[in-house]
Amino acid sequence: MKVTLRIWRQPGPEADGGFEEHDVDGINEEMSFLEMMDILNDRLVEGGGEPIEFESDCREGICGTCNLVIDGVPHGPQLGTATCQLHMRKFSDGARITVEPWRAAGFPMIKDLIVDRTHLDDIVAAGGYISVNTGSAPDANLMPVAKSVADTAFDAAACIGCGACVAACPNGAAHLFTAAKVAHLNLLPQGQPERYRRVEAMVEEMDQWFGSCTNHGECETACPQSISIDFIAMMNRDYVKSKFKNRRLLSQTN
Amino acid sequence: MDTVLDAKIPEGPLADKWDNHRFSMKLVNPANKRKYRVIVVGTGLAGASAAATMGELGYHVDVFTYHDSPRRAHSIAAQGGINAAKNYQGDGDSIFRLFYDTIKGGDYRSREANVYRLAQVSNEIIDQAAAQGVPFAREYGGTLDNRSFGGAQVSRTFYARGQTGQQLLIGAYSALMRQVAAGSVTMHTRSEMLEVVKKDGRAVGIVTRDLATGEVEAHSAHAVVLATGGYSNVYYLSTNAMYCNATAAWRAHREGAYFANPSYTQIHPTCIPSSDEFQSKLTLMSESLRNDGRIWVPKNPDENRPAGDIPAEDRDYFLERKYPAFGNLVPRDVASRNAKTVVDEGRGVGDLKNGVYLDFSDSIDRLGADTIEERYGNLFEMYERITDENPYKEPMRIFPAPHYTMGGLWVDYNLQTTVPGLFAIGEANFSDHGANRLGASALMQGLADGYFVLPYTIGDYLADWLNTEPVGTDDESFSAALGAVSDRTEMWLSKNGTRTVDWFHRELGKIVWDHCGMERSAEGLEKALSEIPALREEFYADVRVPGSGDTINSSLEKAGRVADFFELAELMCRDALDRNESCGGHFRVESQTEEGEALRDDENYTHVSAYEWGDSGPTLHKEELEFENVTLTQRSYK
Ligand SMILES: Cc1cc2nc3c(=O)[nH]c(=O)nc-3n(C[C@H](O)[C@H](O)[C@H](O)COP(=O)(O)OP(=O)(O)OC[C@H]3O[C@@H](n4cnc5c(N)ncnc54)[C@H](O)[C@@H]3O)c2cc1C
Ligand code: SF4
Ligand code: FES
């Protein structure tokens, strides 16, 4: 099969970017979308040009590295699927496909289809952990966790940190990502001691870099792990409570 | 015994060695720890856990990864689980049994003392991870669930759906980010280590290239830890991620760190076969599938009916037939080699006849589709996404693929390489797994090294350097290394040939796969040893590296990595040729029983082969392995 790519190129953060068109023929349906991009890049290089820079690593939907907006949708048309797991059989022969980078104020451009997602790590550094030094943990079975609680925490923990939710959001908000991280830990008994401190710190870090949430819900549709927006409601509830609880804690320690 | 290779195994009975050693090691007191700088390269399970723990202890740690985030390290992709000797199921497991299984599984080619320590600390890993909030699978009563894995006769594998690696890594990564916030760890992302810097024979720092800006930078420290993963991508196609490479370990090797057992690689039996020549990587289907799937191929090479229409009498359940006791649960190397045999006989399945069936229909009949979905739902989904075939209705097609490398930098009991001050942990070192790794033991080893071993053994080395400043980056040792990296960058950028780096990598991969893959012969290895240098020459003459060095340049990054793979591939073949015995993942056709099973040669090869780099070729050093607590037996799964 053959496809025509309308693809974003931008030599660097400050440089102007624009679309370039490339025909890619001789593609087979079994190929993944990124393998098709590999072929295009091979041909560009063999023809004396420079490859289009994009990122991917595991190519099995778990590392969160790949990040393309395909025909306007982060990770492309297949629901619950990361870019690297998308296959050419989902496109028709002769299709014209637009490929763009994640676009969001919180993700500064680096080159072509690569952006900087470091602020997601900043949110985790702000409080996305349980403070337990190595070696100081009690026996794992001393703290039983109800299966239903463990399962829900897991649903949140499944986030692969790709940032599609941010790219999909008209406001460039990172609420789904942050909520997934908060919920994972705030649901578990191990996470209770730092529950309100955590949510306050993470939400406030998030607000520094990313937009606000106005309940569009496009994040959930774009999310390759289908993380539920219910976690955002939970985060908001905990955040409101944190304002009250953290203050009270302060007065207690004073 | 080779005098240079002193493994520094502590005295005393096996069970007391680690305790005795911890007691006799020099300590660095808490107030002094912050005077030390330590570099950790890699943020996978091994690197993230080591950096976080050393940060907690008070060291100042600089961490490097070429990824855009520490959470992307390839550990994230591990599916199946992590072993520990908890004996929560009360099925007779113990530290000694985990030790014994690991030694036996490694085909008696690993060090007793290291493996015993690994089994000892395994339990603490589970405690640590659970406390961090790793959502392990649980029973309805709230306690942790286990499953049996890779032929083990006890249920000692802890798991988190099919994402154990991701959940454990998020645990270690969050501990690491906590230290970043606390200021004890400095994070350097998109930063690729390209040189180890040595002064007066010891490691004093590294040189990195910032992948986004191209800046070449020097970093100094009192000690350097490599946690840079394995080298399966030498085969081009493997289950490893696209970026995985051997450059960090190889650069260290060229600076004097011995490389041990390079030919010990593990070919995993259950991966999705490739669909065409542009295949970029192979996807693993967790080994746990073999618990409920039956492996077969048609008896007749010309069979062309769909799987479901082939009656039982025309099917060959070759593992069940040859190994009645273990059946589909034989160890990885045995399962892989037998799959290769039937495909070589022309009995492979799929359009390219390059796979074997893994069939769940009997289990679905017996247990119901719901149970199978509960156990493997996400794997079935992944399979269907990739192949467009529904494994509930037709059997999966699988084929072996390179997966894990037991070989790596030689380290002593303290995880120190032959270069003082340079340590190696996780898959990057050679320790613990011998000639073959058991399922669910790599995660255990990475975290054992990072959380519980290295942070203490490194203190013994650091204690001697109290009140010394790290060597300044203006020292000539650093300028030389900086110069070398810049020169290499220039050299690659001047390459204006006709072929892409990937083209050469694919061709190299084919040679290594054909001759140093599942089956090795003297003839094939000698062929590889003449083909690899020839292809390398062509690579330097005809590769094309477009673009500039001051921005993201994937061709440039890959060129350096593939150049190192070329050198490593040659060493692998040399080692495979030297080891004229079959052991673990290393099967030499010259060394087999009458029934075609692997035949070890304990008299001549009960040693670790560690290679010293030399411009005119490697020098082999041997570390003899001594077994005081187990008796060597030939493996048999009949
Ligand atoms: C698909 C798959 C499934 C697996 N499943 C299991 C399982 O179920 N159970 C099990 O026990 N094991 C499993 N394994 C094996 C296990 O996942 C790995 O052996 C282990 O995670 C390796 O961890 P590591 O920390 O040593 O290296 P990695 O996780 O590979 O991390 C390497 C790190 O080093 C960095 N790095 C490398 N080179 C450089 C450089 N030059 N400069 C800067 N940074 C560098 C990388 O950025 C990365 O951060 C699996 C492996 C694969 C491939
Ligand atoms: S919530 Fe979903 S879309 Fe957002 S980072 Fe996590 S996995 Fe990606
Ligand atoms: S490349 Fe890892 S999720 Fe797509």
Q: Which chain A residues contact residue B49 at CB under 8 A?
A: 134
Contact B181 A125 (CB under 8 A): yes
Please give the mean pLDDT across all residues of chain A: 95
Judged against a pLDDT cut of 60, whether residue B3 lies above it is answered with no
- Could you read off the pLDDT of B159-193 as tens digits, one per residue? 998 899 999 999 999 999 999 999 999 999 999 99
Atom of ligand 3 at shortest range from CA of A160: 3
Q: Which residue has the higher pLDDT, A91 or B152?
A: A91
% of chain B at pLDDT higher than 90 = 90
Q: Is A159's C-beta closer than 6 angstroms to any atom of ligand 3?
A: no
Q: Are residues A126 and A198 in the same domain?
A: yes
Q: Is A61's C-beta closer than 6 angstroms to any atom of ligand 3?
A: yes
Average pLDDT over residues B134-138: 95
Task: Record the tokens describing residue A33, joined without a space.
Answer: 């979308």
Say which DSSP state B310 is in. S
3-class state of residue B96 by DSSP: helix
A161 falls within a domain: yes
A77 falls within a domain: yes
Judged against a pLDDT cut of 90, whether residue B116 lies above it is answered with yes
Contact B138 A150 (CB under 8 A): yes
Closest CA to ligand 2's atom 2? A223
Average pLDDT over residues B207-223: 98
Domains contained in chain A, number: 2
Minimum-distance ligand to the CA of B208?
1
Q: Which chain B residues contact residue A136 at CB under 8 A?
A: 131
* pLDDT value, residue B4: 67
Domain with CATH 3.50.50.60 in chain B: 36-266+404-465
Domain with CATH 3.90.700.10 in chain B: 268-402
Minimum-distance ligand to the CA of A184?
2
Average pLDDT over residues B148-154: 79
Q: Are residues A18 and A55 in the same domain?
A: yes
Mutate to test the interface with B, among A40, A42, A62 (most CBs of B within 10 A): A62
- Could you tell me if A57 and B243 are in contact, meaning their C-beta atoms sit under 8 angstroms apart? yes
CA nearest B242 in A: which residue? A57
Q: Which chain B residues contact residue A42 at CB under 8 A?
A: 500, 502-503
Average pLDDT over residues B47-70: 98
A108 falls within a domain: no
- pLDDT confidence tier of residue A254, bands split at 50, 70 and 90: very low
Distance B44 CA to ligand 1 centre (A): 6
Q: Are residues A175 and A248 in the same domain?
A: yes
- Could you read off the pLDDT of A18-66 as tens digits, one per residue? 999 999 999 999 999 999 999 999 999 999 999 999 999 999 999 999 9
Contact B544 A46 (CB under 8 A): yes
The Cα B74–Cα B166 span in angstroms is 9
Please count the CA atoms within 13 angstroms of the CA of B541 that sit on its side-chain side. Answer: 6
The Cα A191–Cα A185 span in angstroms is 5
The residue type at B201: G
From A65, A86, A87, A223, the mutation candidate for ligand 3 (largest count of ligand atoms within 8 A of CB) is A65
* pLDDT value, residue A106: 98
The Cα B74–Cα B403 span in angstroms is 12
Mutate to test the interface with A, among B65, B66, B71 (most CBs of A within 10 A): B71
The residue type at B13: P
Tell me which residue has tokens 């032959």.
B418
Judged against a pLDDT cut of 80, whether residue A250 lies above it is answered with no
- Helix segments in B143-243, DSSP class H: 164-182
Calculate the dihedral angle through the C-alpha atoms of B339, B343, B347, B350, rounding to the nearest 10 degrees. 90
Q: Are residues A229 and A129 in the same domain?
A: yes
Please give the mean pLDDT across all residues of chain B: 95
Q: Are residues A82 and A122 in the same domain?
A: no
From B39, B45, B64, B75, the mutation candidate for ligand 1 (largest count of ligand atoms within 8 A of CB) is B75
Q: Are residues A235 and A131 in the same domain?
A: yes
Q: Terminal CA-to-CA distance of chain A, rounded, Å?
A: 71
Contact A11 B551 (CB under 8 A): yes
Contact A50 B74 (CB under 8 A): no
Return all residues near A222 (Cβ < 8 A) that are at least 6 apart. A73, A74, A75, A164, A165, A167, A168
Q: What is the extent of the structural domain holding A11?
A: 3-100
- CATH code of B476-606, in short, is 1.20.58.100
Average pLDDT over residues A104-125: 98
Predicted complex ipTM exceeds 0.90: yes
Q: Are residues A125 and A239 in the same domain?
A: yes
Average pLDDT over residues A135-139: 95
A238 falls within a domain: yes
- pTM of the predicted model, to two decimals? 0.97
Closest listed residue to residue B267, CA positions, set B526, B576, B584, B44: B584
The Cα B502–Cα B506 span in angstroms is 6
Q: Are residues A181 and A245 in the same domain?
A: yes
Atom of ligand 2 at shortest range from CA of A176: 1
The Cα B179–Cα B308 span in angstroms is 55
* pLDDT value, residue A110: 98
Task: Record the tokens describing residue B444, joined without a space.
Answer: 């255990």
Q: Which residue has the higher pLDDT, B148 or B259?
A: B259
Average pLDDT over residues A226-252: 87
Calculate the dihedral angle through the C-alpha atoms of B432, B438, B444, B446, rounding to the nearest 10 degrees. 60
Judged against a pLDDT cut of 60, whether residue B210 lies above it is answered with yes
Q: Is A174's C-beta closer than 6 angstroms to any atom of ligand 3?
A: no
| B36-266+404-465: in CATH 1.20.5.50 | no
Closest listed residue to residue A120, CA positions, set A152, A79, A160: A160
Judged against a pLDDT cut of 70, whether residue B611 lies above it is answered with yes
Q: Are residues A73 and A135 in the same domain?
A: no
Judged against a pLDDT cut of 90, whether residue A246 lies above it is answered with no
Give the burial class of B374: count Cβ atoms within 10 A of its Cβ; 0-12 exposed, 13-18 middle, 19 or more buried: exposed
- CATH code of B268-402, in short, is 3.90.700.10
* pLDDT value, residue A170: 97
Boundary-marking domain end, from A70, A100, A130: A100
Q: Are residues A139 and A215 in the same domain?
A: yes
**CATH code where residue A124 lies:** 1.10.1060.10
- Could you read off the pLDDT of B506-556 as tens digits, one per residue? 999 999 999 999 999 999 999 999 999 999 999 999 999 999 999 999 999
Domain with CATH 1.20.58.100 in chain B: 476-606
Q: Is A178's C-beta closer than 6 angstroms to any atom of ligand 3?
A: no
**CATH code where residue A34 lies:** 3.10.20.30
Crossing angle, helix A195-209 and helix A118-127, to 10 degrees? Answer: 160
Q: Are residues A192 and A152 in the same domain?
A: yes
Contact A145 B67 (CB under 8 A): no
Q: Which residues of B does the annotation mark as catalytic?
A: 332
* pLDDT value, residue B1: 46
Q: Write the DSSP string, B347-383.
A: --BTTTT-BEEEE-HHHHHHH-HHHHHHHHHHHHHHH
% of chain B at pLDDT higher than 70 = 99
Minimum-distance ligand to the CA of B160?
1
* pLDDT value, residue B346: 95
